[in-house]
Chains A and B, each alone.
With several copies, the nearest count.
Chain A
């Protein structure tokens, strides 16, 4: 069973095709780096995968179910540009809310567990508004991992994070990869992404330019990819 199957996806903004016939498969356990220059269509694609937007043509299957399906959605975890956390609620309330929405058996237990894992247990009753950026980012991670998603979609997760926050996120991602989850992340910070990735998908102005394993060359010189498969 494929974790994700993207089949001939097009997305039009008006008459402008932001995605043109994108198609690729992701097997469970893979970590895919979604690369491309500014405006290539990474965010557009990730939003479609996350069920936040409908493709104009084509289909997206998550574990062989339509991506807008309820059970497909419960298998997905997202971290976007915003943290997706309510400022006026406490850390615990936030996690309990999402645990409830995802229909977890014991929302309370799941919430506490993830507070502990992200090191937020001792501030669990603090309002998010008062948290520092690092703590908020941790909470966003806890929110995304809470329901043990089998497919993680991350849009530029390393942007504007410092070395420590990046290390935390990387270790969490590694762990959930080890547990068999699938990860797809877009980024411009090639080094951080390629260290983690097992596969690479490169988009060029809305078209699939390359998809395949991450090779040693890419690690050695991140611009290798753009030079080889991108435009001049």
Chain B
């Protein structure tokens, strides 16, 4: 039942995304300065926001785990972090492609870019840390702490363009950057399917985690004399 709902949601999200892409390619004109590549922004920015949303979810789940000691929160935390990493990677890669075309280089040690990368590495570290702890409860506890500590970098990513002079465009959504309203609404609208996809992934990963726990418990009983 749950799987069916997830799959149908997935189909809806995919259709929505297809519609958006169609609109983007056909409905919207090229941007004046950057040309066709500008359309990357419709993925670049929503991916970043989705990624932050995932990290926030992981933070909340981690705190909840420490409060309730219920391993469900732990699975939510890993799942959200993994999906967040995927969207973080999407943001980084789309940004890099964009940078290659607009700036002519793949990467520059600009604060926004760098802090995004740090953040990505930290959460990747979270996953590495999880592998180093055998026992599930201890793993959940320690990685919850790690998740809480990691989140402290997220505001840094967010505000880095405010605090430092950067090459990265200024935020258009809340800051000094400017953007045509047609582009802007496209940005928002494209965020919806991405967020849906993230939610579906998280749900699927949580199911997997649950199965994995069940399998582990079974295997333990087999392996215990």
Dominant SS at the B interface?
Answer: helix
- The residue of chain A having its C-beta at the shortest distance from the C-beta of B223 within the complex is A130
Closest chain B residue to A39, Cβ basis: B224
Q: Does B167 contact A (CB under 8 A)?
A: no
What CA separation (Å) do A16 and B69 show in the bound complex? 14
Is A129 touching B224 in the complex (CB atoms < 8 A)? no
Of the 9-residue stretches A7-15, A97-105, A190-198, which lies at the interface with chain B? A7-15
CB <8 Å contact, A126 and B71: no
Answer whether A14 and B214 are a contact pair too, CB < 8 Å, given A126-B219, A130-B219. Answer: no
Q: Is the CB of B213 within 8 A of A15?
A: yes
Find the residue from B134, B137, B223, B225 having the highest chain A CB count within 10 A.
Answer: B225
Q: In the bound complex, what is the Cα–Cα distance between A10 and B221 (angstroms)?
A: 17
Interface size class of A (residues with CB under 8 A): 10 to 19
* Contact count band on B: 10 to 19
Residues of chain B within 8 A of A126, CB atoms compared: 219, 222-223
Within 94-139 of A, Cβ neighbours of B (below 8 Å) are at: 123, 126, 129-132, 134-135
Q: Are A14 and B136 in contact (CB under 8 A)?
A: yes
Nearest chain B CB to A52 CB, angstrom units: 13
Q: Are A15 and B219 in contact (CB under 8 A)?
A: no
Chain B residue with minimal CB distance to A128? Answer: B223
1/0 per residue, CB under 8 A from A, across B47-85: the answer is 000000000000000000000010100000000000000
Interface: B135 (CB within 8 A): yes
Give which listed residue, A14, A123, A135, contacts B216 with CB less than 8 A.
A14
Q: Does B2 contact A (CB under 8 A)?
A: no
B213 contacts across to A, CB distance below 8 A: 14-15
* A residues near B222, Cβ cutoff 8 Å: 123, 126
Chain A residue nearest in CB terms to B220: A16
Question: What residue of chain B has the Cβ atom nearest to residue A57's Cβ?
Answer: B69
Q: Which A residues are in CB contact (< 8 Å) with B217?
A: 14-16
CA separation between A15 and B75, bound complex, in Å?
Answer: 13
Minimum Cβ distance to chain A for residue B123 (Å): 23
Chain A residues with CB below 8 A from B134, complex form: 129
Q: Please measure, in the bound complex, the distance between the C-alpha atom of A12 and the C-alpha atom of B137, giving whole angstroms.
A: 8
State the CA gap A131–B222 with chains docked (Å).
Answer: 9
Complex: how many Å from CA A111 to CA B209? 34
Task: Give the complex CA separation of A129 and B219 in angstroms.
Answer: 12
Q: Does residue A56 face the partner (Cβ distance < 8 Å to B)? A: yes
Establish whether residues A130 and B225, one from each chain, have CB atoms under 8 Å apart when the complex forms: no
B66 to chain A: closest CB distance in Å? Answer: 11
Of all chain B residues, the one with the shortest Cβ separation from A87 is B134
B198-224: which residues lie under 8 A (CB-CB) from chain A?
Answer: 213-214, 216-217, 219-224
- Residues in chain B within 8 A of chain A (CB atoms): 69, 71, 134-137, 213-214, 216-217, 219-225
User: Can you add 12 more A-B contacts, CB < 8 Å, to A14-B136, A14-B213, A130-B219?
Assistant: A14-B137, A15-B71, A16-B220, A16-B221, A56-B69, A123-B223, A129-B134, A130-B220, A130-B223, A132-B223, A132-B225, A135-B223
Task: Report the 10 A-B pairs with minimum CB-CB distance, sorted nearest first.
Answer: A14-B136, A15-B217, A132-B224, A134-B225, A130-B223, A16-B220, A13-B135, A126-B223, A131-B223, A15-B213
